[in-house]
Structure 1
Amino acid sequence: MIDVVLPCLDEAEALPWVLGRMPPGYRPIVVDNGSSDGSERLAAELGALVVREPLRGFGAACHAGLLAASSEIVCFMDADASLDPAQLPLVTGPVAQGEAELVLGRRVPVEAGAWPVHARLGNAVLARRLRRTAGVPVRDLGPMRACRRTALAGLGLVDRRFGYPLEMVLRAAAEGWRVAEIDVRYLPRAGRSKVTGTVRGTLRAIGDMRAVMAVHRQGQRTTIPA
Structure 2
Amino acid sequence: MKNIKLIIPAHNEAASIGLVLAEVPEIVSEIIVVDNASTDQTARVAADAGATVLSEPRKGYGYACLKGINYLSEKSKQPDILVFMDGDYSDYPEDLLKVIAPIDKNDLDFVIGARCKELREPGSMTPQQIFGNWLATFLMRLLFRARFSDLGPFRAIKFDALTSLNMEDKTYGWTVEMQLKALRKKLAYTEVPVRYKKRIGVSKVSGTVKGSIFAGIKILGWIFKYSFR
**Per-residue displacement from partner, 1:103-156 (whole Å, max 9, x unpaired)?**
000013532111111211111111111111222101111001001112211111
SS at match of 2:151: coil
Aligned to 1:224: none
Aligned to 1:191: 201
- 1:11 equivalenced with 2:13 (yes/no): yes
Letter in 2 for 1:150: D
Aligned to 1:128: 138
Equivalent runs, 1:86-101 vs 2, <5 Å: 86-101=94-109
Match of 1:38 among 41, 55, 63: 41
Match of 2:125 among 85, 99, 115: 115
Task: Please state how far the C-alpha of 1:56 moved relative to its aligned partner.
Answer: 1.7
Identity of aligned residues (%): 34
Aligned to 1:50: 53
SS at match of 1:181: strand
Deviates most, 152-161 or 194-203: 194-203
**Per-residue displacement from partner, 1:155-183 (whole Å, max 9, x unpaired)?**
11111111111111111111111220100
Aligned to 1:79: 87
Task: Provide the rounded CA distance (Å) in 2 between the counterparts of 1:182 and 1:199.
Answer: 30
Aligned length: 219
8 Å contact kept, 1:29–1:65: yes
Task: Provide the rounded CA distance (Å) in 2 between the counterparts of 1:3 and 1:120.
Answer: 29
Letter in 1 for 2:108: A
8 Å contact kept, 1:66–1:149: no
Aligned to 1:204: 214
Task: Provide the rounded CA distance (Å) in 2 between the counterparts of 1:202 and 1:179.
Answer: 27
- TM-score, L = length of structure 1: 0.93
Aligned to 1:213: 223
Match of 1:161 among 158, 162, 171: 171
Aligned to 1:223: none
SS at match of 2:194: strand
Aligned to 1:65: 68
Superposition RMSD on alpha carbons, in Å?
1.3
Task: Provide the rounded CA distance (Å) in 2 between the counterparts of 1:142 and 1:117.
Answer: 15
Task: Provide the rounded CA distance (Å) in 2 between the counterparts of 1:73 and 1:82.
Answer: 22
Q: Once superposed, which parts of structure 1, at least 4 consecutive aligned residues long, lie more than 6 Å away?
A: none
Match of 2:156 among 132, 146, 151: 146
Task: Provide the rounded CA distance (Å) in 2 between the counterparts of 1:86 and 1:124.
Answer: 26
- TM-score, L = length of structure 2: 0.91
SS at match of 1:196: coil
Task: Please state how far the C-alpha of 1:99 moved relative to its aligned partner.
Answer: 4.2
